[in-house]
């Protein structure tokens, strides 16, 4: 007896459901070689230009304050000499596969909140640190625990050069710290926030890979492992008053730029939030 192959639509649906299940369990999705060389190269060229402008304007702070990231890479002033490149960046960040996967796993409400770029500090021996993004939102620890299950904020990490040893604790996006994790993250009981955690999982990322992870999972980068580091994080989220109210319209595409984006869902959702005042 012959067994018929599943319909292509069912196969796609099963694959998308597996993305959601894996994220719910682990708090991350690793998509190996999800981006084409052409896409990665185009993004790297534009991002590198923005980064060099940022370095020129922040040289003293970069040297003296241990800075290791910048934000708001789509700010219009970075594109004053090459305005057309801004629309290209919006388009190349929202690739068909990424939009489809994130939509299937997280729903139709997911919106673009901004960007960050992660690089090495001047002193590569600067201690790395475990953290959850929620700890920087000005909430009490009780409220952080309460809101952890409500918030869906994502980092979509795109390494523009190889990145060795990015680390997170699988499953910690759905639960609060163990005693060891809390002591480490908050530097209590003699522990440092750079200390190893027994349940940490490391990732070696290559250009073309995409790592999607919860912003509120326990995570940290590494500097000593990487002579250079240049990783773009696209910040996505579901609407929530604690986060979406801080959305900056200046980081979003204009009407004209939006017409040049082939898969504009993330940006359209963000513009709707701005319009609603949410």
DSSP-derived secondary structure for 159-185: ESS-EEEEEE-TTTTSS---HHHHHHH
What CATH number should be reported for the domain holding residue 258? 2.60.120.620
Tell me, yes or no, if the pTM score tops 0.85: yes
Q: How confident is the model at residue 1 (pLDDT cuts 50, 70, 90)?
A: very low
pLDDT value of position 166: 98
Residue 97 forms part of a structural domain: yes
User: What dihedral angle (degrees, nearest 10) is formed by the CA atoms of 195, 67, 65, 221?
Assistant: 0
Q: Residue 10 contacts by C-beta under 8 Å, 6 or more apart in sequence?
A: none
Residue 18 forms part of a structural domain: no
DSSP structural state of residue 250:
G
> 12-56, pLDDT tens digit by residue?
556 667 888 999 999 999 999 999 999 999 999 999 999 999 999
> 156-213, pLDDT tens digit by residue?
999 999 999 999 999 999 999 999 999 999 999 999 999 999 999 999 999 999 999 9
pLDDT value of position 4: 46
Nearest by Cα to 212 from 228, 233, 230: 233
What is the H or E stretch that residue 216 is in? none
pLDDT value of position 2: 43
Residue 9: is its pLDDT beyond 70? no
* Tokens at 109, concatenated: 């409400």
CA distance 194 to 126: 10
> What is the residue whose two structure tokens read 């796993």?
105
HSE-up (13 A, CA, CB side) for residue 161: 13
Residue 5: is its pLDDT beyond 50? no
pLDDT value of position 19: 86
CA distance 139 to 133: 11
> 214-273, pLDDT tens digit by residue?
999 999 999 999 999 999 999 999 999 999 889 999 999 999 999 999 999 999 999 999
Residue 8: is its pLDDT beyond 70? no
The average confidence (pLDDT) of the chain is 93
Query: How many whole angstroms from its chain centre is CA 151?
Result: 14
Residue 65 forms part of a structural domain: yes
How many domains, in total, are found in the chain?
1
Residue 138, domain extent = 24-276
Residue 3: is its pLDDT beyond 90? no
């Amino acid at each position: 007896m012959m067994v018929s192959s599943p319909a292509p639509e069912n196969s796609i649906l099963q694959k998308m459901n597996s993305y959601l299940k894996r994220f719910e369990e682990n708090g991350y999705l690793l998509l190996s070689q999800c981006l084409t060389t052409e896409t990665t190269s185009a993004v790297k060229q534009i991002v590198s230009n923005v980064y060099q402008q940022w370095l020129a304007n922040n040289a003293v702070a970069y040297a003296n304050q241990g800075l290791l990231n910048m934000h708001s890479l789509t700010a219009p002033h970075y594109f004053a000499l090459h305005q057309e490149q801004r629309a290209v960046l919006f388009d190349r960040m929202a690739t068909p596969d990424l939009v489809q996967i994130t939509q299937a796993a997280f729903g139709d409400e997911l919106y673009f909140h901004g960007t960050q770029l992660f690089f090495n500090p001047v002193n590569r021996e600067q201690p790395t640190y475990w953290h959850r993004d929620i700890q920087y939102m000005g909430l009490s620890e009780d409220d952080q625990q309460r809101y952890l299950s409500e918030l869906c904020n994502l980092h979509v990490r795109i390494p523009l050069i190889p990145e060795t040893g990015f680390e997170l604790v699988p499953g910690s996006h759905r639960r609060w710290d163990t005693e060891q994790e809390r002591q480490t993250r908050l530097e209590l009981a003699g522990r440092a926030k750079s200390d190893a955690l027994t349940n940490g999982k490391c990732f070696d990322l290559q250009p073309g890979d995409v790592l999607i992870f919860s912003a509120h999972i326990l995570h940290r980068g590494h500097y000593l492992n990487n002579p250079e580091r240049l990783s773009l994080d696209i910040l996505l989220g579901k609407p929530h008053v604690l986060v979406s109210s801080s959305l900056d319209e200046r980081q979003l595409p204009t009407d004209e730029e939006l017409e040049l984006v082939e898969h504009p869902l993330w940006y359209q959702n963000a513009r709707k939030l701005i319009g609603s005042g949410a």
